[in-house]
Amino acid sequence: MILFRAMEQPANSTKTAAPEGSSSSTLRAEIKSWTRDLLIAFALAMVIIVFLYQPVKVEGTSMSPLLTDQERIFINKFVYRFEPIQRGDVVVFWYPLDKSKSFIKRVVALPGDTVEIRLGQVLVNGKVLDEPYVPGQFADRTSLGPARIPEDHFFVLGDHRNSSNDSRVFGPVPGEFIYGKAVFVYWPVERFGLLPAIGSDVQ
């Protein structure tokens, strides 16, 4: 007579011990994968920055209030290979009187345009240029021209007209001297963001 019977174990209750070190191997593989992805992302970012964009430090107040002294911005070095320079673009170029220096100004007149300044008011082809980026306190009362802009040259002005060395002084800038378009402020942090695209029209 059987007084008791040993309890049978369920067939699936037997556990196989994980191979020693398998979890650490998985972690190492994941870290390796993350590191690889980060390196690829960093390399792509460097390619974009080095070949498409260039960091530039703004010196001076000639483009105030859009850009202020010591701000850091990115310029697009390739944009003008695919589209023409437009009126209103903020461009970086080699200073025509000393190519070791770079200036940043706004394009106000294009090749073939006739530009004139009457007591600070800019006229292009006989029509007043709408310039919302020039605050009243930064305007001036100078007069110039009229003058026709030569082929592949651009007439540039600083937004702070009372504090700018620009085409009023050194004349139109050759297109080959223009090497970038200002697109993005990255420092200081409170100014972080894209620069407004202003295609200035004549009234």
Asked if pLDDT for residue 119 goes beyond 80, the answer is yes
Contacts of 142 (CB under 8 A, 6+ apart): 117, 119, 120, 161, 168
Burial of residue 54 (CB within 10 Å: 0-12, 13-18, 19+) is middle
pLDDT digits (tens, 9 = 90+) for 55-102: 999 999 999 999 999 999 999 999 999 999 999 999 999 999 999 999
**CATH superfamily ID and name for 54-194:** Umud Fragment, subunit A (2.10.109.10)
Q: Specify the higher pLDDT residue, 110 or 22.
A: 110
Q: What is the bridge-based pairing of β-strands 98-109 and 114-118? A: unpaired
Asked if pLDDT for residue 151 goes beyond 90, the answer is yes
* Contact yes or no for 72/190 (Cβ under 8 A): no
Taking the CA atoms of 190, 50, 165 and 112 in sequence, report the sign of the dihedral they define.
Answer: negative
Query: CB 18: neighbour CB atoms within 10 A?
Result: 8
| Residue ranges per structural domain of the chain | 54-194
| pTM (two decimals) | 0.75
Q: Which two tokens stand for residue 60?
A: 């001076």
Q: Specify the higher pLDDT residue, 114 or 28.
A: 114
Give me the phi and psi of 124, to 5 degrees please. -120, 120
Spell out where 87-143 has E strands: 90-95, 98-109, 114-118, 121-124, 127-128
**Amino acid (one-letter) located at 57:** K
pLDDT in the model for residue 5: 47
Active site residues: 62, 105
